[in-house]
Amino acid sequence: MKAVFLLMTLLCATGAAGAQEYLDCHFVPGWEQTGAKREYTPDNLYDYKDGGAEGYLVFSFVHMQGIDCKSGPRTLSIDVSEMADPDSAYGMFSANRDPNLPVTKIGMGGQIQSQSASFVKGKYYVEIVVTDAGPDSNYTTVLGGFAAKMQARIEGRETVPETLQWFPQDNLTSARLIPESVLGLRLLKRGYVAKYRQGQAFIVLESSPESAAEVMKKLRERFAGATPAQIGDEAFQVKAQYLDGVCIFRKGRYLAGYANLPDAQSATAQAAQLATRIP
């Protein structure tokens, strides 16, 4: 019995050690850890992020681990946030990346800037920041080195969420996960929104076709003057305040459509194309 207990203890310790391999200041020569490793959960993240904690919690934050590394007078902070699923992690990355800079192929996607780096892989969102650099300092080589070593040790998916590939790419300006109130509508709790030069499309996944149909019923009741459209399992179109031309359809468990187009007919035409791309 004692031998079994010792074996289990060893296995647990080995697993824990393996889980920490992506946090190491020695990934880049000349850097040493300073201070103890930090850990946070949803209950105490406010102690670390203060006013920024809500931005993590809204993307289904589970756990954070981090360390500080020092080289001479410079210190960099490394934080690895575990989210509930890869979609949430990618949503966190998309919400915080610089839209004016290209996305680098690190895991599912990343960005390396002069004094900060971030990337996402599987359900993990990674942030690396030089905390005390001068305004003109450039640490892209160091940050890229840490990112490359870490992403090789973090397990998880390296492809972007499949849903993003369903949006038409012509004239697309951005696409990301909205963690709540898609299009500003509380009924659409969480989904992807793609913005175009004109208008925006959305895709929301419900738990079942039945729950999607119930949400669809409530949406139809919300928009006065809505008229039926022939898309998917059911659809309606309408000209609405703030959303302009709108078309919303249901296809199985998915609710999707277009908004902010000149009129309802334009939204319906675009929605019909989107419906053919959703499995």
Over residues 64-112, the pLDDT tens digits come to 999 999 999 999 999 999 999 999 999 999 999 998 899 999 999 999 9
Kindly state the average pLDDT of the residues 150-175.
Answer: 95
CA atoms within 13 A on the CB side of 98: 11
Predicted pLDDT of residue 14: 39
Predicted pLDDT of residue 134: 79
User: Can you list the domains of the chain with their CATH numbers?
Assistant: 15-153 (3.40.1000.70), 162-277 (3.40.1000.20)
Rg (CA), the chain: 23
> From residue 53, how far is each of 47, 59, 81, 161, 236 by CA, in Å?
9, 10, 12, 24, 38
- Report yes or no: 124 and 132 within 8 Å, Cβ to Cβ: no
* Alpha helices by DSSP H, 20-80: 46-49, 53-57
Q: Which residues contact 167 (CB under 8 A, 6 or more apart)?
A: 175, 192, 194, 201, 203, 274, 277
Residue 10 pLDDT class (50, 70, 90 cuts)? very low
Place of tokens 């809204």: 58
CA 202 – CA 114 distance, rounded (Å): 34
Lowest mean pLDDT, pick from 126-135, 211-220, 250-259 = 126-135
Predicted pLDDT of residue 157: 94
Kindly state the average pLDDT of the residues 138-153.
Answer: 96
Predicted pLDDT of residue 15: 40
Look at residue 267 and tell me whether its pLDDT is greater than 60.
Answer: yes
Look at residue 26 and tell me whether its pLDDT is greater than 80.
Answer: yes
The DSSP string of 140-154 is HHHHHHHHHHHHHHS
Residue 136 pLDDT class (50, 70, 90 cuts)? confident
| pTM to 2 decimal places | 0.84
Short-list 171, 189, 172, CA closest to 180: 189
Residue 120: which H helix or E strand, with range?
strand 116-121
Residue 13 pLDDT class (50, 70, 90 cuts)? very low
